[in-house]
Structure 1
C-alpha cells in the first residue's frame, strides 16, 4: 500500500508530500482502459446491462437542470428522498466541475425554501467558514473578494461559490428572522490565520483573565498559522511539541469556562480551541510514512464529522454538507487513506437522519491541480466512459440527467450497483492509472448522474 501514487490520490496528501519535497511523478490523463464497444451478441454482460438500465429507468427521476433559480418541480422527488434528514451530504465526483457546484447552489436554495435548512457546510477550514459567515450575516465586503480571501487557491475559489454566497447574503436581508449560515467543517487547512486564536483569547480575557497569561504563552509560538505546507517542512519533533501546546491550550480553555456548562460563549471558545488543536495534531503527520498519512486523513474526516454535528446540534438547524464524494459517502475509492469517511461517521451519529448523495458523470471537463492549493489549476477533459466503468451503464438510462434513490432500486439494479467497478473520481489531483474503483450502491443513499460536465468558472 505504500508508494507515491497511494499517498497522492487525494489533494491534501499530494500537497503534503510536495511540501516535504517528496517527488510525486505527474501522471498524464489518459482515456480509461477497458474493453471497447461490442455487439450485444458478443458481450456476455450486455443482457445484464439492459436489465440494469430497465430497472433504473423504472425509478429514475429526470433532472431539468443543475442551474439555480427557476422552477423546482423536478426536485420534489429528491426532497422526498431526503425526507426529514437533519444533515444531507452532497458530494462531487471532481473538485472542479461547474455542474456539481451549481447543483449544490440549486439544491441548497430548494432545501432552504421548502424544507427549512439553515446552513451550507463546506469542506473548507473552520476559520474560513467563520469569515464567510460574517459576510453572509451582513458584514462588510464583496462576495468575489471574500472568496479570494477565504477560499483562495482552493478548489472552491470559483464563480459558482461567489454566486452561492451572494445569494445567501441576499436571502438573509429578506429573511432576517430565518437567516442561513455558511460553515467550514474542516481543519485549519491550508491556514488557520490569527483571528481564530483571537476569538479564543478574547473569551478567556473576559471570562478568566487569571489564566490568560498561560494561554498566551501556549499560543505564542503557534499563531498565526498561515501556511500548512511551509509548516510541514519543520522538523517532526518541533511539530509534535507544537501539537502538545495546542492540546494544553484546549484543555486550559475547556477547564476555564465561567458560568453554567451551557454557556454559549464558552462553548464556541472551546470549539475554536479544538479546531486549533486538531489542526496542529494533523500537522504532525510524517509524509514519508503512509501509515502516518492515513492516520492524519482519518483524523481529518473524524474532525469534519464532529464539526458538522457540533454546529447542527448547537444551532438546531438542518445542514447541507458539501464535500468530495469520498468524504460525504459511506465508502471512498481509496480505502487505505479513507477507511471510514466523514459520511460513515455521520451515519453513526444520525442514523437515517443523515442522507448521502453522490454524483457521477459520463464525460466532460474539470479543473485539477498537481500542485495543490496553488493557482496552478488546469482543465482536464475525459472521454465517455468505457463498458467496464460504472458510468457507461448509468449513462444508458434514457434521461440525460437524472437522480435515483439507491435504497429502493429494483433487485437487478441493486445487485449491479453493489459491485466495485472503475469510476471517474478526481479530488484536487486526478489519477487515471489505475482507475479508481467504487461500489456505488454501497457508497450513497441517492445518486445524481449527469451526462456531461464542464469545468468550473475561475473567480
Structure 2
C-alpha cells in the first residue's frame, strides 16, 4: 500500500528513486492474531435499502454528532461506493436536521471553491467537467456526483445554503487563479503578485503530475526553487493585502485562498527553515479551523480514516499526530469522528504513484481480512451493515490490526496497522461486502 497518509508532497521532495521507495514504505502490522470476540449487544444494525430506512436506523448516532462543531466521516478506502453513499446520507441528515452547512473534502481549497460556485448557480447542466477538473480522481465518481447534485437542488429551494469546501493543499493553481480573478482591479503590486502565483502553482502542479511518468526526469532543484519562490510570493501578497480594504463579499474567498497557498508552500518552508517535514495532517486541520471560524459554523469532513483518526495509525509522523488529533486539541469535546470499514468485495484504485485529477481508477478485489484483525471480527457479526460505539467494545482499548487502504490496489497484510478503536474513533460503521465506486 502506498504511504499516502503523512504528506504526499514531501515524497516529491526526495530524489526520484527515494520518492518511489517512500511511497511504498509501510509499517509492520500488529502481531497479535487472537480472534476478537464481540458482544452482540453493542452492534447497531443499519438498513441501507433506502435513505429513509437508513435515517431511522442511525438516529441515535446522529444525536451524538448533532451538537458537535466538527464531524469527520472517515473512509477505510479511497474507493468504496458504499462509503460515499452512506456518508452522503449522513451528511444530508446533519444538514437537514442539525444545522450543518458545510461539507469539506480531502481536496484542495481552491478547486472545491470553484465547484461550490456551481452549486450556487440557478441552473446546473452537468457537474462532470468541473469534477474532473477540480477533484482528485478518488472523488470523481457517481456517488460523489449524487451528493453534489443534491446540494445544488437543496440550494435552489432553501434560504439557508449549504457549501462545499476543501481542506487539503496539494494543488494551488485554482486558489491562485481565484486570487488573480478577484484582485484583478487591485493595486499593480497585488496584481503582479497574483500573476506570479498562478505561474508558480502551475509549474508546481505540472512537476507533481509528471512524477507519475517515469520517462520524465524528476527535477528536484527546480521544484525546490519554485516552491520556495511561491512561499515568498504568497507572504508578500499577504502583507500587501493588509494595506487594502476589500469588499466584504471578497474577504472570505481571498483569506481562504491565501491561507491555502501558505499551507501549500509550507512543504518547502518547513525543510528549509525548520529542517523538518511539513505535516499534511496539520494543513488539513488548519483549513478546517478556517472553515469554522464564524459563530455557529459547523463542518462535516470527508477524509480517510487515517487522517481523521484521533490517534494517527501510521508510525513515523513526528509532527503531532493526524488531522483528528489536531482537531481534538483545537475543539475539545466538539469533535466527533466516525470510521468506516469493510471485509470483502471490490474497491476503486489507481496504479499511479501519486494521486492527481487524471489518475485512472479501476475496480480491484479486496483481499480477505487477516487473522486477528478488527475486520475479521466484524465480518463474523450477523448484520451485513452496522455501527458500533467504540467505547462499548470490550477489546476497544487493545491494539489489533485495522485495514487502511489508500488509493492503490493493495489491500493485503501490509495494509493493516495496529490500532485501538476507542482511541481512534467515536464510532465505526461496517459494511460487510462493498463495491468499487463508479467512475464518471
Q: Same fold (TM over 0.5)?
A: yes
| TM-score calculated relative to the size of structure 2 | 0.83
Task: Work out the number of aligned pairs and report it.
Answer: 419
CA apart distance, 1:448 = 0.9
| TM-score calculated relative to the size of structure 1 | 0.80
- Given candidates 378, 382, 395, the residue that maps to 2:366 is 382
The answer to whether residue 159 in structure 2 is matched with residue 163 in structure 1 is: no
What do the CA deviations read for 1:253-304 (whole angstroms, capped 9, x no partner)? 3333357799563453233122223223326799xxxx98x823x1x21111
What do the CA deviations read for 1:25-73 (whole angstroms, capped 9, x no partner)? 999xxxx99999xxxxxxxx56xx44xx22xx22332111176466621
- Given candidates 162, 167, 173, the residue that maps to 1:185 is 167
Secondary structure of the corresponding residue to residue 130 of structure 2: helix
Distance 1:283 1:431 in 2: 32
The answer to whether residue 407 in structure 2 is matched with residue 428 in structure 1 is: yes
Residue aligning to 2:265: 280
Aligned CA distance change for structure 1 residues 108 and 213 (closer, same or farther; 3 Å): closer
Residue aligning to 2:83: 100
- Given candidates 353, 356, 379, the residue that maps to 2:337 is 356
Distance 2:321 2:373 in 1: 24
Q: Is the 8 A contact 2:194 2:237 kept in 1?
A: no
Distance 1:275 1:393 in 2: 41
CA apart distance, 1:340 = 0.7
Aligned CA distance change for structure 1 residues 62 and 264 (closer, same or farther; 3 Å): same
Distance 2:89 2:435 in 1: 17
Residue aligning to 1:39: none
The answer to whether residue 382 in structure 2 is matched with residue 401 in structure 1 is: no
- The root-mean-square deviation of aligned C-alpha atoms, in Å, is 3.5
Unaligned runs of 5+ in 1: 37-44
Residue aligning to 1:42: none
Distance 1:220 1:168 in 2: 30
Pick the structure with greater CA Rg.
1
Distance 1:258 1:350 in 2: 32
The answer to whether residue 249 in structure 2 is matched with residue 254 in structure 1 is: no
CA apart distance, 1:357 = 0.7
- Given candidates 20, 27, 31, the residue that maps to 2:16 is 20
Unaligned runs of 5+ in 2: 212-216
Q: Is the 8 A contact 1:240 1:281 kept in 2?
A: no
The answer to whether residue 208 in structure 2 is matched with residue 229 in structure 1 is: yes
Q: Is the 8 A contact 1:67 1:106 kept in 2?
A: no
Distance 1:24 1:229 in 2: 16
Q: Is the 8 A contact 2:346 2:436 kept in 1?
A: yes
What do the CA deviations read for 1:142-192 (whole angstroms, capped 9, x no partner)? 1223222222x52111110111111100111111x11111001110x3x43
Aligned CA distance change for structure 1 residues 257 and 7 (closer, same or farther; 3 Å): same
Q: Is the 8 A contact 2:348 2:363 kept in 1?
A: yes
Distance 2:191 2:54 in 1: 57
The answer to whether residue 256 in structure 2 is matched with residue 271 in structure 1 is: yes
Q: Is the 8 A contact 1:68 1:105 kept in 2?
A: no
Distance 1:421 1:173 in 2: 47
